[in-house]
Structure 1
């Protein structure tokens, strides 16, 4: 068991090196040797854990997603035992915004991956094949809100979820560029959620 824990730690160490390189200068020209140097490991060890360059990039992205999900769960847990669907959806969407150093760094890395996916057809194919998990999650939460009388039955849960997630993604870029403050970004999210979540249900 301790050996497995050590393997996980080493994989995370290498993934963090990929993230730092991505945040500093993108992923277009990053090599296995550069990642190995950044991580403080040999190129042979890096290949042992991840294989090819593409497998390394995808593996590091998977670890980043796992870390992001864990942090999101921790923040959502802070909402309490029965926060209501409005608060839960808000918490999910705020994870898409660079509201602190941790989330800002994460979204800078995601931006580097986005550019890489656009330039590499093989990696883009993997990205396109990924299910729209976040949209499905938000749609499910909105549907639960409808069942609890917090959202009108007239609301199209799937369409609203797609709009909210896409909107948060777009707002994310404006915050990273300094066009909006984090506070302004949160206010925009709250404005849209106030439109969706209401106790007024049409008869």
Structure 2
């Protein structure tokens, strides 16, 4: 339960405001985010919002950062709760990819908000650059894990940079399946099964790297 009033901590109050931004973005679109609208949804004063986020750009940037951090935390929690931190790259790769598929209502909301922010970021060069960097970092991680799975030449780990095309393929499949789940065109379990099946096929093929 969220603590309100004088007992609320700085982080809790800040999070209430960010959650209100998510609600506006999810139900009305990123273009409708204003300090006044967010204050109304959060049930706080305009001054309270401005205390944490002085401008609309600060508000959107803070929410954008929070969405990315929540996504990263989901993956970290998934690997930790399933005891995968000491496992091999194949298990971690499967966990990272399948965690991109939303399963609960909160997961779907997070995906919708992230999609809305990415669309909004297209017209904001700084945010667009952050989106591109985020995808690049994720692709690099996936390529590293793929390379770790496809050991070649007597057990020598493959160069991760050589597997970026496969990483993009898996990321594209995962995000596409996630979009289908969000609109109820595909069940989460079915989406994860499809993704795991393709991952298994990829890892069972020749370890020859991308051209």
**In structure 2, do the counterparts of structure 1 residues 177 and 136 end up closer, same or farther at CA, with 3 Å as the change threshold?**
same
Say which is worse superposed, 123-132 or 65-74, in terms of deviation: 123-132
Counterpart position of 1:165? 171
Counterpart position of 1:124? 128
Normalised by the length of structure 2, the TM-score is 0.80
**In structure 2, do the counterparts of structure 1 residues 78 and 14 end up closer, same or farther at CA, with 3 Å as the change threshold?**
same
* 1:89 pairs with 2:93: yes
Counterpart position of 1:176? 182
Counterpart position of 1:37? 40
* Residue from 105, 109, 113 that aligns with 2:113: 109
RMSD between aligned alpha carbons?
Answer: 3.0
Say which is worse superposed, 102-111 or 123-132, in terms of deviation: 123-132
Structure 2 portions without partners, runs of 5+: 1-7
Normalised by the length of structure 1, the TM-score is 0.83
SS of the equivalent of 1:28 reads helix
Determine if contact 1:95/1:103 at 8 Å carries over to the other structure: no
Q: Highest relative contact order (Cα 8 Å, sep 6+), 1 or 2?
A: 1
Superposed CA offset, 1:145-182 (max 9, x none):
234989x9699421111111111111111111222221
* Structure 1 residue 6 displacement after superposition: 2.4
Counterpart position of 1:60? 63
Superposed CA offset, 1:109-146 (max 9, x none):
11221232235556435534556111111111112223
SS of the equivalent of 1:132 reads helix
* 1:10 pairs with 2:13: yes
SS of the equivalent of 1:179 reads coil
Structure 1 portions without partners, runs of 5+: none
How many residues are paired up? 198
Determine if contact 1:11/1:49 at 8 Å carries over to the other structure: yes
* 1:139 pairs with 2:139: no
Say which is worse superposed, 64-73 or 184-193, in terms of deviation: 64-73
* 1:77 pairs with 2:80: yes
Find the aligned partners of 1:126 and 1:153 in 2 and give their Cα distance: 28
Determine if contact 1:36/1:43 at 8 Å carries over to the other structure: yes
Find the aligned partners of 2:124 and 2:158 in 1 and give their Cα distance: 42
SS of the equivalent of 2:185 reads coil
Say which is worse superposed, 156-165 or 77-86, in terms of deviation: 77-86
